[in-house]
Structure 1
Amino acid sequence: MEQRMHFTECYPDTVSSVAAAVRSGSRKQLRRLIKRGRSVECRDNRGWSALHEAAAAGSTECVQELLSAVGGKIKKAGSSRGSRAYVNSLTHEGESACHLAAQRGHLAVVQLLLEAHANIDQLTNDLSCPLYAAVDGGHKEVVELLVCEGAEVNRTHTASCWTCLHQAVYKGHSEIVRILINVCNLEAVDDHRITPLFLAAQYGQQECLEILVNAGANVNTQAADLATPLLIASQEGHQACVDFLLDHGADPNKACSLDWPQLPIHAAAEFGHIGILRRLIAVTDRKCDRGDGMVSPLYMTVKNNHIKCVELLLKEGYSPDAQDCTHILGLSSPLSLSNRTYSESVRLLIEAGATLSEDNWMHAFITGERDMLPHILEHRWIPRQEVYTMGFSSPHNHGKIELTQFELRDLLCAVLSQAQFAASWLPLLMKAGLEPSLLMQSRMLEESKGDVLNYLLEFVNWSTLSSSLKHILDQRRAEKTWEPCPRFDNIPPLSHICRLQVRSVLGPDLVMRTNVVEQLPVPSPLHDFLKFRDIPEPPVQTRHHLDVDVV
């Protein structure tokens, strides 16, 4: 009956009078209660006895008093088993008095309990132990004591299977790490095969990282997913850790993913850590830029629109086209990301000369990105036809990058498929120097709105159209889907024929995009006429599906 709970003497939290005396640190009150026969073994609703209270409070005197009381009682019974059982009794959470004292850094209490044969390696319900608890709390002296007394140092704890060294590194307790490296397995792994050194890199614990590396820990260790310390430090933005790892043998070209050959440079690019990216550019094999089966870091930084990183990679010579990563990322080039979103990064790629595909052109025409097409035409030059047939470059492109024959072909495929919305893009292309004859095709004449068709015909000699195209125009007039300008029924005036001839001789690219017209020996009032500025642009109608993605 004596070991039962005395509810009549409980406080609101069910603590017994003995435990309450211990909690207050009153050794005299504790002695009086013991002399009155109060039990020191009563448990509260947490399973705590007075010894747990004393250990948690760090009350060395009360611990001594309780151990003496139990020791005297056991001595009378002629057995020491009861004493050990008392010292090692557990709360409902599986905590021993030694664990509670170690957790709170009560060195003297831990020493007393160990002398009373406390189980130094007793596990709690959540797989902690006195040493792990002391490490977690950063209690260096307690850790030194427990290690000296032979505590198990390489056991795994908690659901993640961390060792004490893992926890010391995670918490950044460098002095404790210095103690543990002499007795612990430096390459111990958790359930994801992560070592303490990996954790130091992941959480930016630079001092702990240096201690581990200097102790001989492997800087190129890999987790279950092949991630390395260098990759994780690059991802998390820990510049000092990245620098230290590289200076001590970390391999920047080790593949760090089971899915594709991810490198630390990809992590830095993806998360926009420009300082780390700059360091990694200098040491990373450039085959990741264009190599087959590889992935350029441009994909990562463009996807996340890290402008400074995009600028840096392009400045350092990374190709704006990279390699085709359709089989890895579902993307054929970094610029194909413009089919998902038009960003500042995409603008930089265009300026750097990224190859434009039909999908890119379609995105510029369909999605309503009003700035994309003008930006492309600002930095790209549409050369005259003889450039492709004769195989030479335009002499006056003012440093802009010329569209290739394939880019121009893709442009035409895109615009002809979007003929019904030509009002939004046709004036831009004409002003950029596109040869209008390239657009004089049946689909364009059949699907263009009337005012767009009139605008286009102003750039050609409408009297010399082929019979098939004239037939389309006649049919549209009969169907009343097109009302031509009155002058289209007549032969073009000589002035119009003359400017067409000037355009033909000089090339539409030079006429529309340079000041070559102003240099001709003609009156200045004719300059605007020769540049076709007298032709009113067709009105742009609101489109209701501007957000439709290009597939």
Structure 2
Amino acid sequence: MAAAHVSMPGTTHNNMDFADYSLYSELSDDELMELAIERSIADAQNSASDTESSKTPTSPNRPAARWQAPPSHPPQPQPELTACPANPPRETICPQDVNSVSHFVTGNGKRMMEYRKYDGSLQVAHVPEEEFDPIAKAILEGDVGSVKLLVKQPGCNLLKPNKDGWMPLHEAAYYGQDQCIKILLRAQPGMINQCTLNEQTALMIAVVMEHLACMECLLEKGADPDITNKDRETPLYKACEKENPTMVAMLLNYGASVNKSCIQGWTALHESVCRNNVEICEMLLKAGAKVSIPNMYGITPIFVAAQSGKVDALRMLLKNGADLNSEAADGATALYEACKNGHEGTVQFLLSQNADANKPGKTGLLPIHIAAQHGNDSKDLLTFGCTHKIVRATNIISMLIPATSKARVKRSGISPLHLAAERNRNDILELLIEAGFDVNATLSEGRSMMYEDRRSTALYFAVMNNNINATTMLLKAGANPNLDTFNPVLVALRQGCIQTVTLLVEHGANVNSYIPTHPTTFPASVMFCMKYLTLLKYLMDNGCDALSCFNCVYGSNPHPPIKTRCNPRYDSDEAVEKTCIQFCEVISSEHVSRWAGPIIDVLLDYVGHVKLCARLIEHLDSFHEWQCIKERAMPPRPLMQLCRLKIRKLLGTKRLKKIHKLPVAPRLIKFLNHQERKQDF
């Protein structure tokens, strides 16, 4: 049977109705004890550990039950279970026999438990009382007189810790009993600096609980203010954490070391700066605190102030000689961190103090890069103050632009435009464009290699994110859509976004783009829009090479089986020939072949005499409805079609786009634009 929860005398269990036990309350103690099982179902130690005490305060650093005295003698053998003579014989109680447990208190204050076995019989057991260390109980109750008497008893050992390593002195510091502390130290002064199992002295406990009288008493009696806990935190550090200037002043007056570091390398000054407590910071500085002590990550107090946006503490540190441009272990400066965390006021103050905006971190990024990248994180958009945070980010960029060298930006190998476009920071992108940042700046080779597609321009990031507004801004500002290895128009075609494709083509994107790593005999742009016939026709109208789609090395001869091709970049074969993929191979793939007829039909409008290869004819023969398409490809092609191709070639793509402005008959314009099927020509 599991250890039962025991209610303290004078309390009522939430699940217990006292009226249910009126039968037992009328019995005398002797009768109850005769009925009760002489042995508790649960081990006495487990019962005591689960005891609820209304007098015991709880603390994360302090166990709930602390005063249980260890047994003074080994446990004696328990007598065998006996049954009341008036009742049938009872069996030994086993955990599996018990169905439920309840607790109650008799009229005489005796604590009992009642449980029902699975056979339906009710059993009653006496719950043994807990034993408390008398001196610990007296300290808890603030009974100074009892403490005086107990310390004089011959058997009283003030140095004997309990299971948690706490001695009476620690208890007195925890409960703020300064008079008890004086009595205990008078009786045993050598225990003043003894630690608990968590390596806490009585002074540390008093600081954590903010008991000033106890602190003063301990310090007067010679407590060492520099003994640290398991995290190497001193009492002074904890006092700064509590933001209690009185405690800080008291510890400093008793010689506490002001520059001692915790396990993370933080000093008391780090902690006070982080909390923007200028009063305590000034006290520490007057006591000799150093403003340039780094923690384990190379972070100095001024870096902490900038990181957390504490302008008052930052101003105070600078007045006391802090290095404005000091760097952390990762090369970041105070300005860098203020920009990263969006602290507009801090950035403004640092720039007014001539902070270096051209000092990069180890990643090579400048403060303006990090502001463009982190100025409006996605988590900010989930808050009601997102508009304010966006405005704040743009304000930071506006302040950094005049302080940032464009030459230094260029040497970094990445433009803030790239980062703004990557994170969809349209407002920041607009600011940077207006400030004259190069919209055609490309990533350095090292940074470009970080991406599998080897992207290099801000325009590519905008198109990849399908951000039409950013794409429009960049193109209007003069972005070249043909600088990337993988042309942005191919990305837009793969996404099937006609608006982005139109924008790119109108600004000169190459409709005959190829992929260097995947050679084909026809433009890759055709391959990416085979499922979108509208896009395919749009590309053809703008000069895409349709004739190359019908150039097949096998012609009318039988084609070999299509092999699964590996990516040449990752193929581990010794010799891989980068053979060009043909149009008939791509159109024969399982997910495209169902549209083979309409695709060929569109392409035939933009070619003259062509000869379909055996594989294309095979596709057209697979559906009866596609026979008319096959007939269209039979030579000779109509003279009208050949004339149209000739005129389109002479005019060129740019003139064809403006043909509606020329004095040409409307019917001729429709004919040149392949719209003659909609009318009688």
TM-score tier (shorter): 0.7 to 0.9
* Structure-to-structure mapping, 1:450-489, within 5 angstroms: 450-460=597-607, 462=608, 465=609, 470=610, 472-473=611-612, 481=620, 483=627, 484=629, 486=631, 489=634
Query: What does residue 481 of structure 2 align with?
Result: 355
Question: What pairs up with 1:205-220 in 2 under 5 angstroms?
Answer: 205-220=310-325
Q: Distance in 2 between matches of 1:222 and 1:478?
A: 70
Quote the residue 2:503 is aligned against.
Answer: 378
More helix by share: 1
Counterparts in 2 of 1:362 and 1:111: CA distance versus 1, 3 Å: same
Q: Tell me how many residue pairs correspond in the alignment.
A: 480
1:34 and 1:304, CA in 2 relative to 1: closer, same or farther beyond 3 A? same
2:188 equivalent to 1:59: no
Q: CA deviation at 1:179?
A: 1.1
In 1: Cα distance, 2:641 partner to 2:227 partner: 99
Distance 1:14 1:119 in 2: 34
Seq. identity, %: 26
Runs of 5+ in structure 2 lacking a partner?
Answer: 1-66, 73-127, 376-392, 450-454, 553-582, 588-595, 622-626
Amino acid across the alignment from 2:273: V
CA distance 1:13–1:145, shift in 2 (3 Å): farther
Structure 1 position 281, deviation (Å)? 1.9
Task: Using the TM superposition, give the Cα deviation of residue 529 of structure 1 relative to its aligned residue in structure 2, in angstroms.
Answer: 3.7
Measure the CA separation in 2 of the matches of 1:294 and 1:22: 68
Letter in 2 for 1:247: S
Cα–Cα, structure 1 residues 534 and 65, in superposed 2: closer, same or farther, change >3 Å?
Answer: farther
Kept after mapping to 2: 8 A contact 1:499/1:530: yes
1:520 aligns with 2:663: yes
Counterparts of 1:278 and 1:248, CA distance in 2 = 17
Aligned match of 1:332? 456
Greater Rg by CA: 2
- C-alpha change, 1:375 and 1:12, in structure 2 (3 Å) is farther
Aligned partners of 1:308 and 1:13: how far apart in 2?
A: 69
Secondary structure of the corresponding residue to residue 486 of structure 2: helix
Q: Does 1:313 align with 2:432?
A: yes
In the aligned structure 2, how far is the partner of 1:6 from the partner of 1:438?
94
Letter aligned with residue 487 of structure 2: N
Does the CA contact (< 8 Å) of 1:517 and 1:530 recur in 2? no
Cα offset, 1:197, TM superposition: 1.0
Query: How far apart are residue 532 of structure 1 and its match?
Result: 2.1
Aligned with residue 166 of structure 2, among 21, 26, 48: 48
Is 1:147 the equivalent of 2:252? yes
Q: Structure 1 residues 437, 44: closer, same or farther in 2, change over 3 A?
A: closer
Change (3 A) 1:139 1:492: same
- The 1:376–1:321 alpha-carbon spacing in structure 2 relative to 1, beyond 3 Å, is farther
- Between 483-492 and 21-30, the greater mean CA deviation after superposition: 483-492
Task: Compute the TM-score of the two structures, normalised by the length of structure 1.
Answer: 0.76
Deviation at 1:207, TM superposition (A): 2.0
The aligned runs of 1:358-437 (5 Å cut-off) are 358-361=485-488, 363-364=490-491, 368-371=494-497, 374-381=499-506, 401-403=507-509, 407=510, 410=513, 416-417=523-524, 419=526, 422-424=529-531, 427-428=534-535, 430-431=537-538, 434=541, 436=543
Which piece of structure 1 moves more, 28-37 or 18-27?
28-37
Q: Does 1:281 find its partner at 2:281?
A: no
The one-letter amino acid of 1:101's match is A
- How far is 1:12 from its partner? 9.3
**CA separation of 1:506 and 1:149: change in aligned 2, threshold 3 A:** same
Mapped to 2, the partners of 1:479 and 1:438 lie a distance apart of: 23
Post-superposition offset of 1:452: 2.5
CA RMSD after TM alignment: 3.6
Partners of 1:162 and 1:20 in 2: CA distance: 38
- Superposed CA deviations along residues 42-90 of structure 1, whole A, max 9, x for unmatched, are 432222222212222222222233334x1xxxxxxxxxxx52x222222
Task: Pick closer, same or farther for the CA change 1:364–1:225 going to 2, 3 Å.
Answer: closer
| Letter matched to residue 144 of structure 2 | R
Distance 2:143 2:523 in 1: 93
Contact 1:18 1:40 in 2 (8 A): no
Aligned equivalents of 1:474, 1:97: Cα separation in 2: 93
Q: Tell me, yes or no, if structure 1 residue 532 matches structure 2 residue 674.
A: yes
- For the 8 Å contact 2:200–2:229, the answer to whether it is kept is yes
AA partner of residue 673 (structure 2): K
What is the TM-score with the length of structure 2 in the denominator? 0.62
Match of 2:653 among 501, 505, 508: 508
Q: Does 2:295 align with 1:178?
A: no
Shift of 1:210: 1.9
Match of 2:197 in 1: 92
Pairwise CA distance, 1:417: 3.7
Letter paired with 1:509? K
